A and B are shown apart, each in its own frame.
Chain A
Amino acid sequence: MADATVASDGTGAEPLDAVPSRARAFIASYAQNRGAVAGLVLVVLLILCAAFADVIAPHPPNLQYRDVTLAPPAWADGGSWRFPLGTDPVGRDMLSRLIHGTRLSLAIGLVSVAISLSLGVLLGLLAGFFRGLLDTVIMRAMDVMLALPSLLLAIAVVAILGPGLVNAMYAIAIVLLPHYVRLTRAAVIAESGRDYVTASRIAGAGNARLMFDTILPNCAAPLIVQATLGFSNAILDAAALGFLGLGAQPPTPEWGSMLASALEFIQRAPWVVTYPGLAILVTVLAFNLMGDGLRDALDPKLRR
């Protein structure tokens, strides 16, 4: 980060764009990665889908057309463009439910990552900055959480809090937590010994200022990457919980629970199972592509 301002010192020895700024290098590197760009485009589309779900969706997500249950997709025999992806067992429009499901999946990702990230960064900062007993206690607690398979930990939390969409978000936030704590701690320990931190301390900066203002911004890169990948984990785990009946409850148009509630119709109407799963796959894939691209672009050591 120390070289970040080299380009703008204005000595005029070289034209500005000969020494690319960090941001420009980052954008250039990210743009080179076709997969990452595709991931970003998909994520933007998904966000638009979620934001304008009410406008885009041809039907209200929970409206039941009792006379057209299990209608096939438009291009199949007996399908019509009134329900482009067909209808579910109680006659709700699949496409509209999927579009509204985007909103839920992104919300689950956003909320669980936000909770997990803020708590994880705080704990990681405390552990890495103060070390000693506090560090030991925090890190042993994280070891315990990592000893439980992620889905099992989420299930345990849901068993305590009770099933539901909001509790699933908390459960996933808890599952993701150890990764942020470990990453932040490692980055803080690496940065703490640097001269700029010592300089800041000598200049009279207090602990809080050193932690949040001086050190934290320089630990951001791995956290951004992990947060992006956290989105995909959160969406996958939430869908799995929904599928097991422990996450979002019917009639919420959450993709995992949509899949579960249509299971018995899988032979007669494969589309009720195919499309929600495809939506999960595409969304998770988009965030994974973006996360990989960010990692390559932010971490020159890993750049190919």
Chain B
Amino acid sequence: MLRFALRRLALVVPTFIGVTLIAFALIHFIPGDPVENLSGERGMDPARRARLLHEFGLDRPLPVQYADYVGHVLRGDLGASLTTHQPVLDEFLALFPATLELAFFAMVFAVVLGLPAGMLAAQKRNTLADYAVMGASLAGYSMPIFWWALLLILTFSVQLGWTPVSGRIAVEYDVPVVTGFMLVDTLRAGDFAAFRSAVSHLVLPAIVLGTIPLAVIARMTRSSMLEVLREDYIRAARAKGLSVMAVTIVHALRNALIPVITVIGLQVGLLLSGAILTETIFSWPGIGNWLIHGVQSRDYPVVQGGILLVAALVIGVNLVVDLLYGIVNPRIRHG
């Protein structure tokens, strides 16, 4: 297991180096250099320009600049935002809990609905229930989620008035930020009205972000379940006189879950892609929204740092999923 873990870990290093290369290159591929972007429309006299280039270290050879960049990254220094002048890492860490909270509940929504739906479809194979689950799952998988979000807002926020249109909590509540997770912070403060407000703000974005994972999980559960239900030990359990329900939940689900858990782990990248769109639409103050603002306002340190941090996150989660999978399934270790 240790050898497997080390081998897997060794693969992460070049990937991470590659990501720093992309993030570094991003700034250098952009038309015009950062100094030019700073000067704006008016232009800048050559002497000042040369001085600024020197100040930013942009007149040095590229490999030196890259080494310098990596040195800073390793010390946790990702530069400062051009618009807020705050360190990029601080901004990321301040906004990340909002994205994590949203992604967590999106995943809860997807798993809580997706597992039973997939099991039902497998159990009632080729019936109306199966077709309904598979049809809905295919539609969910093909859904442009920004449009789905608008439809839900139009129905539940505008017409029915059940949920707020955007944000994390109504403005009248002032909850001290302790964990950054709104639901936790409001409960800590003992403010139940604020908690209710936070929940109502969370519902629609979580459903929107959870829709594609829900579709994937339902499909995966169904096919994994169908495979397991064919096994001899399932027939043996049925022959023993156990009910369909008991066999499905006790015997089949446990084994069917292994590929499903992997799929859930691999949804992280997808979730972050979705978070960019979901947060933009619901004005959710998370890293997706932050990144899009960074791109739109040409705040390159934010874009560069954000890409690096998100990639590091995805690499980290995939590593953990792989290691867990190695523990659960010994065959993987020796592959």
Query: Which residues of A pack against B, CB within 8 Å?
Result: 35, 140-141, 143-144, 146-152, 155-156, 158-160, 162, 232, 236, 239-240, 243-246, 256, 259, 263, 266-267, 270, 273-274, 276-278, 280-281, 284-285, 288-289, 292
Contact = CB atoms under 8 A, between A and B. Distances in A.
Interface residue SS majority, chain A: helix
A236 B277 CA distance: 12
Contacts of A270: 154
A156 B150 contact: no
Contact of B19 (A144, A151, A263, A277): A144
Given A240-B144, A266-B158, A267-B158, 20 more contacts: A140-B15, A143-B14, A144-B21, A144-B22, A147-B311, A147-B314, A148-B269, A148-B311, A149-B272, A150-B270, A150-B273, A152-B276, A240-B146, A243-B277, A263-B150, A266-B154, A277-B147, A277-B150, A281-B147, A292-B138
Contacts of A152: 272-273, 276, 291, 307, 310
Nearest to A289: B138
Interface in B257-297: 269-270, 272-274, 276-277, 280, 291-292, 295-296
Contact of A244 (B29, B270, B277, B311): B277
A245 B142 contact: no
Interface size class of B (residues with CB under 8 A): 35 or more
B209 to A, nearest CB: 13
B310 A148 contact: yes
Contacts of B146: 239-240, 243, 256, 259
Nearest to A282: B142
Nearest to A239: B144
B87 to A, nearest CB: 21
Interface residue SS majority, chain B: helix
Contacts of B310: 148-149, 152
Given A240-B144, A273-B150, A147 B315 contact: yes
Given A144-B22, A266-B154, A280-B147, A149 B15 contact: no
Given A147-B311, A147-B315, A267-B158, A140 B144 contact: no
Contacts of A240: 144, 146, 277
30 contacts: A35-B138, A147-B318, A149-B276, A150-B273, A152-B307, A155-B276, A156-B303, A159-B30, A159-B303, A160-B30, A236-B144, A239-B144, A240-B144, A243-B146, A246-B295, A256-B146, A259-B146, A267-B154, A273-B147, A273-B150, A276-B147, A277-B147, A277-B148, A280-B147, A281-B139, A281-B142, A284-B142, A285-B139, A288-B138, A288-B142
Contacts, number: 127
Contact of B15 (A144, A239, A245, A276): A144
Given A155-B295, A239-B144, A285-B142, A274 B303 contact: no
Contacts of B154: 266-267, 270, 273
Contacts of A236: 142, 144
A273 B148 CA distance: 10
Nearest to B21: A144
B9 interface: no
A270 B150 CA distance: 10
Contacts of A256: 144, 146
Contacts of A148: 19, 22, 269, 307, 310-311, 314
Given A151-B276, A266-B150, A273-B150, A159 B26 contact: yes
A281 B144 contact: yes
A162 B19 contact: no
A149 B142 contact: no
